[in-house]
Chains A and B, each alone.
Chain A
Amino acid sequence: MLEHKGVSPPFLGEKILKWFSPPHETEALLGDFEEIYLDLFFSKGRARAQFWYWTQIILLFPPFLKDSIYWSKEMVKNYLKAALRNIKKSKIYSFVNILGLSVGMACSFLILLYIQHELSYDRFHEKSDRIYRITTEWQFEGQAQIHETAAAPVAPALLNDFPEVQKAVRMRRTGAVMNHNSKSFVESRVYLVDPSFFDVFDFPLIRGNPNTVLSHLHSIVLTEKTAQKYFRNEDPIGKILTFGNRFDLEVTGIARNAPSNSYIDFDFLIPFEAINSFSNYNYLKSWGAWNFHTYLLLQKDFPPSELEEKSQAFIKKYRGQDSTNPQRFHLQPLTKINLETSGKLKYIYFFSAIAAIILILACINFMNLSIARSSTRVREIGMRKVIGAQRHQLVKQFLGESIVLAFIALPLAILFVHVTLPAFNALLKTQLKSDYFQNFPFLGGILVITLLVSLISGSYPALYLSSFQPVRSMRGELKSGARVARFRSLLVVFQFATSIILIICTLSVHHQMKFIHNRNLGFNKDFVVNVPLYDGSLRQKTEYMKHELLANPNILSVTSSSFSPGSYPNQSVDWEGRKEDEELMMAWYSVDHDFIRTYEMEIIEGRDFSKEFPSDIQSAYILNEAAVKAFGWEDAVGKGFRVEKAGFAMGTVIGVMKDFHFASLHQDIKPMALVLEPEGGYQLSLKISSKGMNPTLSFIEKKFKEFAPSAPFSYSFVEDEIAEMYMEEERLGKLINSFSVIAILIACLGLLGLASFAINQRTKEIGIRKVLGASVPAIIILLSKDFMSLVAAANIIAWPVAYYGMNRWLQNFAYRVSISWWLFVISALLALSIAILTIGFRAIKAALTNPVNSLRYE
Chain B
Amino acid sequence: MGLLSKREEHILLAVGILEEDAYLVAIMELLSEVMGRNLSIGAVHIPLRRLEKKGLIEASFGEATAVRGGRRKKIYKLTSMAMEALTENKKVNDTLWENFTEFTYR
Q: Looking at the assembled complex, report how far the CB atom of B30 sits from the nearest CB atom of chain A, in whole angstroms.
A: 14
Q: A32-B41, A67-B49 are in contact. Are A3 and B66 (CB under 8 A)?
A: yes
> Is B42's CB under 8 angstroms from A30's CB?
no
A28 touches B61 (CB 8 A): yes
Which of the listed residues B42, B67, B68, B72 has the most CB atoms from chain A within 10 Å of its own CB? Answer: B68
Shortest C-beta distance, A31 to chain B (Å), equals 3
State whether B74 touches A8 (Cβ < 8 A): no
Q: A55: shortest Cβ distance to chain B, in Å?
A: 7
Residue from B42, B53, B66, B69 in contact with A59 in the complex, judged by beta carbons closer than 8 Å: B42
Which segment, of A34-42, A120-128, A167-175, A502-510, faces chain B?
A34-42
B72 touches A70 (CB 8 A): no
Output the nearest chain B residue to A27 by Cβ-Cβ distance: B71
In the complex, chain A residues whose CB is within 8 Å of the CB of B41: 29, 32-33, 36, 56, 59-60
Q: List 8 A-B contacts (CB under 8 A).
A: A4-B66, A31-B72, A31-B73, A32-B68, A33-B41, A60-B41, A60-B46, A63-B46
Chain B 39-71 interface residues, beta-carbon cutoff 8 Å to A: 40-43, 45-47, 49-50, 53, 61, 66-69, 71
In the complex, A161 has a CB within 8 A of chain B: no
User: Is residue A61 contacting chain B, with contact meaning CB distance below 8 A?
Assistant: yes
Nearest chain B CB to A49 CB, angstrom units: 14
B40 touches A28 (CB 8 A): no
Cα A36 to Cα B23 with chains together (Å)? 13
Other-chain contact of B69, A31, A36, A70 (Cβ < 8 Å)? A31
Q: Are B42 and A63 in contact (CB under 8 A)?
A: yes
Contact B46 A32 (CB under 8 A): no
Contacts of A481 in B (CB 8 A): none
Interface size class of B (residues with CB under 8 A): 20 to 34
Residues of chain A lying within 8 A (CB to CB) of residue B40: 55-56, 59-60
**Quick check: is B14 within 8 A (CB to CB) of the other chain?**
no
Interfacial chain B residues near A55, Cβ < 8 Å = 40
Which residues 1-44 of A sit at the B interface, judged by CB distance below 8 A? 1-4, 8-9, 25, 27-36, 38
Tally of contact residues, A, Cβ under 8 A: 30
* Nearest B residue (CB) for A53: B41
Chain A residues near B69: list those with CB within 8 A.
4, 8-9, 30-31, 34
Q: Which residues of B contact A28 (CB under 8 A)?
A: 23-24, 61, 71-74
The reply to whether B25 and A32 form a contact with Cβ atoms under 8 Å apart is: yes
Q: Which residue of A lies closest to B75 (CB)?
A: A28
List, in ascending order, chain A residues with CB within 8 A of B42's CB. Answer: 56, 59-64
The answer on a CB contact under 8 Å between B25 and A67 is no
Q: Helix, strand, loop or mixed for chain A's interface?
A: helix
Q: Which residues of B contact A31 (CB under 8 A)?
A: 68-69, 71-73
Q: Does A544 contact B (CB under 8 A)?
A: no
**Cα distance A318–B23 when bound, in Å?**
84
B72 with A35: CB separation less than 8 A: no
Tell whether, in the assembled complex, residue B25 and residue A35 are in contact, meaning their CB atoms are under 8 Å apart: yes
Residue A804 lies at the interface, judged by CB distance under 8 Å to chain B: no
Contact of B71 among A1, A2, A30, A59 (CB under 8 A): A30
Q: Does A66 contact B (CB under 8 A)?
A: yes
Nearest B residue to A28, CB-CB:
B74
Enumerate A599-647 residues with CB–CB distance to B below 8 Å.
none
Given contacts A32-B41, A55-B40, 15 further A-B contacts (CB under 8 A): A1-B67, A2-B67, A3-B67, A25-B49, A28-B23, A28-B73, A28-B74, A31-B72, A32-B25, A32-B68, A32-B73, A38-B67, A59-B40, A61-B42, A64-B42
Residues of A within 8 A of B61 (CB): 27-28
Given contacts A2-B67, A27-B71, contact A71 B45 (CB under 8 A): no
Partner of B68 from the list A35, A60, A66, A71 (CB cut-off 8 Å) is A35
Residues of B within 8 A of A60 (CB): 40-42, 45-46
A23 to chain B, nearest CB (A): 13
Chain A: minimal CB distance from B102 (Å)? 37
User: Measured between alpha carbons, how far is A63 from B72 in the docked complex, in Å?
Assistant: 24
Residues from chain B with Cβ under 8 Å of A8 in the complex? 69
Closest to B50 in A: A67
B2 to chain A, nearest CB (A): 13
Shortest C-beta distance, A21 to chain B (Å), equals 9
Q: Is B67 within 8 A of A25, CB to CB?
A: no
> Which residue from chain B places its CB closest to the CB of A62 in the assembled complex?
B42
In angstroms, Cα B67 to Cα A28, docked, is 13
Q: Which residues of chain A have C-beta atoms less than 8 A from B46's C-beta?
A: 60, 63-64, 66-67
**B49 to chain A: which residues have CB within 8 Å?**
25, 67
CB B53 to nearest CB in A, in angstroms, measures: 7
Residue-wise interface mask of A (54-79) relative to B, using a CB-CB cutoff of 8 A (1 in contact, 0 not): 01100111111011001100000000
Complex-state Cα separation, A61 to B68, whole angstroms: 23
* Chain B residues within 8 Å of A71, by CB: 53
CB distance from B52 to the nearest CB of A (A): 9
The 4 closest A-B pairs by CB, nearest first: A31-B71, A28-B74, A60-B42, A31-B68
**Smallest CB gap from A4: residue in B:** B67
Query: Whole-angstrom distance from the CB of B70 to the nearest CB of chain A?
Result: 8
A473 to B97, CA, bound (A): 58
A44 CB, min distance to chain B CBs, angstroms: 13
Compute how far the CA of A27 lies from the CA of B41 in the bound complex, rounded to whole angstroms. 15
Interface residues of A in 820-844 (CB under 8 A from B): none
